[in-house]
Amino acid sequence: MTSTNQMTIFNKQTVIIQIHYTSTANTRGYQKGAFPLRGRKREQAAYQFWKWIKKENPLKVAIEQVLCEQEDITELVRELENEEIERSLNGMDDLPF
């Protein structure tokens, strides 16, 4: 197998994700990383990265832009975030009090 073929296989399994965000302190941040997909969609990998960024940041942060391999997937990640919020709010209806 040539190195070009090996790189193609690597690229299909690992993606580069860049997340640009703002914080409540009116600052802008940017983080980038390489993530193995492991059967996940790229927006799922990006959303997991975004959740980690929010957890690690002491301030409240908001997504500005999410890029995966230079393609804008911001709306896909926002949809996943909104779905999770909606699921957690719907689960609150089942509380015993």
- 52 and 33 in contact (C-beta within 8 Å)? no
Kindly report the average pLDDT of the chain as a whole number.
87
pLDDT attached to residue 7: 47
What's the half-sphere exposure (Cβ side, CA atoms, 13 Å) at 2?
3
Global pTM? Answer: 0.79
- 66 and 17 in contact (C-beta within 8 Å)? yes
The 10s digit of each residue's pLDDT in 84-93 is 988 888 876 6
Q: Which residue has the higher pLDDT, 7 or 30?
A: 30
Mean pLDDT of 57-81: 96
pLDDT attached to residue 3: 47
pLDDT attached to residue 1: 43
